[in-house]
Structure 1
């Protein structure tokens, strides 16, 4: 069967499924918590209440309870609406890879804002005056962890709902020797890989332990706590993006989406010299995750099937994939793209 005999792909949808429902639900829940906690605790709050906190988490500005309610509600609703609107614009422009990132950032930010307002209220309970009170650390830490987790989950859910045309190995078999026959427009080969359970568990334990350590170390010195927050964010982002991924090959070449949504290691057709599918091991490239070695840059999840792409310029790119069939099909597709690029440049 010739690759050109495949039926034309269905038109790609440009809208972002699940984005609006997730954003509206997140905004609604956080707004309800903001209003509900204020109503529940209004008899235990000083008058006026804190409406601004400095970088150390100490209240340095006050206002009426009505101001607190309206300011919080306006901020939560504004962020909750702006992000899906922006993501819809990006999606409509055809750049779908940015939609999950915007969804994750927006929903995570809304939860984080809600946690900040609630932690500020908890810190003022039964206080004689609002000035000088502190945000409640445990509430803030818990809220930030929830914000990070929900942001990542939102990005994953939106990314998973975006339409994709995957090619199973039987349909894609002709690409293994396609040569100059070309790639059918719209063809996408996708292979999802995940890291070993023990490594994921280790990252999870460290992620949960670091906020506790940060709060304990910074109990009397808030600067210590805030100095450790970037390390926590880096740890979580690195764990998510480098211990799970989705390798995609199509007319645009090959790339991997760390965590399923963060694009990395994109090799375009004109940069492909030759690709091969074979067994790879972490020891070859310096360990798990995103690795730089003398051979090139690798996104490697563990011992198993992989695709090695030798480039016309610079070092190779190495990708872990789910199965040996995926490796063979992707390598065949990339070699077909390289041959076609060479044929086009010689005419």
Structure 2
């Protein structure tokens, strides 16, 4: 049986997905239709990059100019859509839904504005080297998508806000005194792994082109791409290991860096749903003593220190890990009354 609240939430989820799909299709249609509408008035190749002086210093074939923004938009919208599909419960949570809408609005506005200003600068120019200079347009490209993102966030805040179940008191399990218990859980973030792979591959290609002399200015892009690859690799997985002495959290394929928390510092642990919109985004959020390691929204293992701080880690089977931590922590405490 389904109640009125369930029907309302289901209906909202359907409407939200349809509206998001419509936005994605609209942006893609604009990215294709606008350059095609002015194709006979644009040079081929056309200017697509401007230097610090505001003059054009790079070009791209017309076909690539049409295709590249569409592919970029498809990747961004696809990643957001895949994240929402994987965690459908985020649609009924106001904070993650609002940030997803903000991201889609910002990205759509950014790619469309870049394309529009590029077309305007090349319009009716016989050669890309004669394209109009860029000056105030840069400020618009930066500011206008931020405004769209803010509007998208406001739109995403409309609708239901279903709170997750309140965290239950930390469960306990029986421990066999003759055995050494161990709990290990690893969670992967495919989006971060792909980000690392694509970024490193792009860095290698750009470095190769720079070495060959085909892309002399490419070295400026190698370091940012490599750093993006490192960040993606670190965010690609998180592993948590619990033994009688401590809890150890490791990130990335090399399981480094890692963090060790002695169980005599732990008051209790529990499983709770948390999402990037609640903690300020992906990665390591917060400050030491009250932090979250967020590589995907949903189930988290939350550990509260005896000092009052907390550490939350996005990891699967968090309830089992919390139960073992509580049992081990209780075993280390002196009996009541002594």
Q: Which TM-score band applies after superposition, normalised by the shorter structure?
A: 0.3 to 0.5
TM (normalized to structure 1)?
A: 0.40
TM (normalized to structure 2)?
A: 0.41
